[in-house]
Amino acid sequence: MDIVFGLFRDAYLTGKGYQLSETLTPVAPPNLPDLLYEFYRSTNAANVQKDIRYNVLYDSTTSLKLSTEEGNSWVEVYVAYWKAIGEILRIEEARRTNSQV
């Protein structure tokens, strides 16, 4: 999760929208081939919202400070992204094992 939110913070703070959009990619970039897997495996369904909220709103090690309203919106976006990544990974695993999803 740290990789995705590190990229998110850097892109947000520098105002680079294209790089910000790359943090929501459904395909791992060549330089980070395990990005999707690591992001999805970094939490679970019971803690995903709390973990993402911490990274977006409460992480004191970063200079990124968002309003609660904007931060909560980003939390919703990344929770939906986490769920979508789970589905993508299930489909990829089914393809590799020749099983049905």
pLDDT at residue 23 in the model: 95
The radius of gyration of the chain's CA atoms, rounded to the nearest angstrom, is 14
pLDDT digits (tens, 9 = 90+) for 63-93: 999 999 999 999 999 999 999 999 999 999 8
With bands split at pLDDT 50, 70 and 90, how would you rate the model's confidence at 1? very high
Residue 48 has pLDDT above 90, yes or no: yes
Range of the domain at 12: 2-97
| Segments in the chain forming alpha helices (H) | 2-14, 17-22, 35-41, 48-53, 68-97
Residue 12: CB partners within 8 Å, gap ≥ 6?
20, 64
Residue 101 pLDDT? 62
Which of the 8 DSSP states describes residue 57?
I
C-alpha 27/C-alpha 14 separation (Å) is 23
Neighbours of 28 (CB within 10 A): 16
Mean pLDDT value of segment 5-19: 96
Number of structural domains (the chain) is 1
